[in-house]
């Protein structure tokens, strides 16, 4: 048996990844009779020229132990045929040339059918966890998609409501609007609310007008008032006295303050 055959016989067990044969840095150092660490140093020096997935593959500690029975706390780098030829490019002695030829022809090129190994319990757990992770990711993406759809639909509905004109105020057919009828009818209620809640009259009027504005366009109401009366109202609350629709809303505000749940009004 010649020296080259002895070197080839020193190769470890065949290692495969994704159907192709691979070697480790230690395998290269042994078969080329180099000091351990030589192949790794050549790889690290020229790593920018190596392409992961084509020239080399990195496996984690669990995969190194489980698949190749190699203890590698920092992970295991596997070298393909193309990566091997790049690493030993600087090995120019006669022995290295012969070893390269023999290793390529007798190891990398002599592919053996890979026997499919049934997954053990550990692999089954990893597969199930990976599947569960994918399902959770899909559910999370679907959840945010549903939220986006709901927000988009709500935005469209708000836009549609904004385009709808507020209802117009219709005047009762009367020659002379009655003055102070609403206040005279409710002045006792107004006095009690102010007393019980320690509230200024202008504050109560402000709340009433705010509620009226939610339902009717008060600027339009003021324009109607000015056209009919020839001048603007002295006080904003005069609009409530003038329009029956606003009086109905004002009555509801007073009712709210007088009810047991009056605290929700303000």
Whether residue 243 lies inside any domain: the answer is yes
200-226 residue pLDDT tens: 988 989 999 999 999 999 999 899 999
Alpha carbon distance 252, 232 (integer Å): 26
Where is the domain boundary, 83, 108, 133?
108
Whether residue 160 lies inside any domain: the answer is no
Claim to verify: residue 102 and residue 190 sit in the same structural domain: no
Whether residue 145 lies inside any domain: the answer is no
Where is the domain boundary, 50, 76, 108?
108
Alpha helices in 104-200 (DSSP H): 121-163, 181-197
Whole-number pLDDT of residue 199: 87
DSSP 8-state symbol, 20: E
Alpha carbon distance 266, 262 (integer Å): 8
The number of distinct structural domains making up the chain is 2
Whether residue 14 lies inside any domain: the answer is yes
248-265 residue pLDDT tens: 999 999 988 888 544 445
Tokens 């230690």 identify what position? 26
pLDDT at 238 > cutoff 80: yes
Whether residue 253 lies inside any domain: the answer is yes
Claim to verify: residue 100 and residue 185 sit in the same structural domain: no
Whether residue 113 lies inside any domain: the answer is no
User: What is the pLDDT confidence band of residue 126, given thresholds at 50, 70 and 90?
Assistant: low
Domain that holds residue 36: 3-108
pTM, 2 dp: 0.40
Claim to verify: residue 10 and residue 95 sit in the same structural domain: yes
Nearest CA-CA partner of 22 in 102, 98, 89, 76: 76
Where is the domain boundary, 84, 108, 132?
108
Whole-number pLDDT of residue 114: 46
39-96 residue pLDDT tens: 899 999 999 999 999 999 999 999 989 988 899 888 999 999 899 899 888 887 888 8
């Amino acid at each position: 048996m010649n020296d080259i055959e002895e070197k080839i016989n020193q190769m470890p067990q065949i290692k495969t990844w994704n159907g192709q044969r691979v070697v480790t840095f230690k395998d290269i150092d042994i078969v080329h009779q180099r000091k351990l660490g030589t192949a790794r140093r050549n790889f690290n020096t020229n790593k920018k020229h190596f392409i992961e997935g084509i020239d080399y593959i990195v496996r984690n500690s669990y995969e190194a132990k489980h698949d190749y029975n190699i203890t590698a706390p920092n992970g295991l780098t596997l070298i393909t045929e193309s990566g091997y030829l790049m690493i030993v490019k600087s090995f120019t002695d006669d022995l290295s040339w012969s070893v390269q030829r023999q290793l390529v022809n007798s190891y990398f090129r002599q592919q053996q059918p890979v026997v499919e190994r049934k997954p053990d319990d550990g692999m089954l757990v990893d597969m199930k966890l990976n599947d569960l992770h994918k399902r959770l990711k899909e559910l999370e993406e679907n959840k945010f998609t549903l939220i986006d759809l709901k927000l988009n639909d709500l935005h469209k509905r708000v836009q549609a409501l904004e385009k709808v004109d507020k209802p117009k105020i219709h005047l009762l057919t009367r020659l002379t609007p009655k003055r102070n009828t609403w206040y005279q009818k409710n002045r006792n209620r107004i006095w009690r609310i102010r007393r019980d809640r320690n509230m200024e009259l202008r504050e109560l009027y402000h709340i009433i007008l705010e509620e009226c504005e939610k339902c009717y366009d008060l600027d339009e109401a003021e324009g109607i008032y000015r056209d009919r009366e020839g001048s603007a109202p002295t006080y904003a609350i005069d609009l409530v006295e003038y329009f029956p629709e606003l009086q109905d809303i004002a009555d509801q505000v007073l009712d709210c303050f007088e009810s047991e749940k009056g605290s929700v009004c303000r």
